[in-house]
Amino acid sequence: MHPSRTPLVIANWKMNKTPSEAALFCDDFLSRLPALPERVELAIAPAFPALERVGRHLLPTRVKLAAQDVHVEPKGAHTGEVSVAMLADVGVAMVLVGHSERRRDRKEIEADFTRKMKRLADAGLSPVYCVGETLEERDGGRTEEVLAAQMTALDAFGDALPPGFVLAYEPVWAIGTGRAATPEMAADAHAFLRARLSERFGAAAAAATRILYGGSVTPANAADLFAKPDIDGGLVGGASLVPADFAALAVAAGA
Ligand code: PEP
């Protein structure tokens, strides 16, 4: 964690928690909020049906509402999809783009992510762009090549990153497996990504951009990961489902 960047921890609940379960989480977690470090920014990304209910809980607090995805088109005949305007209307401030589960399950590719990030930028919502290699790619020595290819989703942005842009390094082999990257592995990937941002958008933009680590972050390993200067917080699945654990991650990010 570098002192010039505000730490950020985002809860990605994936397809977990009904609106009622989400409300119970909020009651518990928000009661812990006054004890958590104020300099750490926090966000929760519930499933779409729980967005409005969670948003109502978060509105009077400093915790931001996030969404797990958005459709590339602004409106129309896209059954089952959700637009940027719908997310903005319920108070969403940040949106995940390019999560590896979307790449895997929906076969989404960089061109889709570019379009989504453009929609978000036009509406003033922050994209949280997720990149990361598979185990096969890492074992084949292709991690940097894969990350560089995923970063081409930003090529359409000229020389300025989308406002509020956040990058998340999430090695696919670490997501939901209980096998987090070592702090050194993560730090190497983050340094590579920051260097790519610098080449593309300049040193100042790269230095100002938060790069989160995601992949089996827990209260037990968070402090060591977040201690690395290029790791600015976490994008957290499993451990974010438990209020005490999510609170512990906020404490680790503020240390
Ligand atoms: C994620 O899905 O973004 C994630 C990092 O999940 P987990 O923390 O469960 O590995």
Domain CATH for 171: 3.20.20.70
Would you state the pLDDT for residue 122?
96
Q: Please indicate, yes or no, if residue 186 is contained in any of the structural domains.
A: yes
Q: Please indicate, yes or no, if residue 1 is contained in any of the structural domains.
A: no
Would you state the pLDDT for residue 20?
98
CA of 130 to the centre of ligand 1 (A): 11
**Number of domain units in the chain:** 1
pLDDT in tens, 170-229: 999 999 999 999 999 999 999 999 999 999 999 999 999 999 999 999 999 999 999 999
Burial of 105: CB neighbours in 10 Å, binned 0-12, 13-18, 19+ = exposed
Which ligand 1 atom is the nearest neighbour of the CA of 217?
8
Q: Please indicate, yes or no, if residue 128 is contained in any of the structural domains.
A: yes
CB 40 within 8 A of CB 7: yes
| Strand, coil or helix: 250 | helix
CA of 213 to the centre of ligand 1 (A): 9
User: Residue 41 sits in which domain range?
Assistant: 8-253
**Predicted confidence (pLDDT) at residue 1 exceeds the cutoff of 80:** no
Check the CA dihedral 248-252-253-254 and report its sign: positive
12 ligand 1 Cβ < 6 A: yes
| Confidence tier at 2 by pLDDT (50, 70, 90) | confident
Q: Please indicate, yes or no, if residue 2 is contained in any of the structural domains.
A: no
Cα Rg of the chain (Å, integer): 17
170 ligand 1 Cβ < 6 A: yes
| Strand, coil or helix: 62 | coil
CA of 100 to the centre of ligand 1 (A): 10
Would you state the pLDDT for residue 233?
98
What distances in angstroms separate CA 217 from CA 40, 54, 78, 87, 222, one per listed residue?
16, 23, 34, 27, 6
Mean per-residue pLDDT of the chain: 97
CB 74 within 8 A of CB 105: no
Which residues belong to the active site? 99, 170
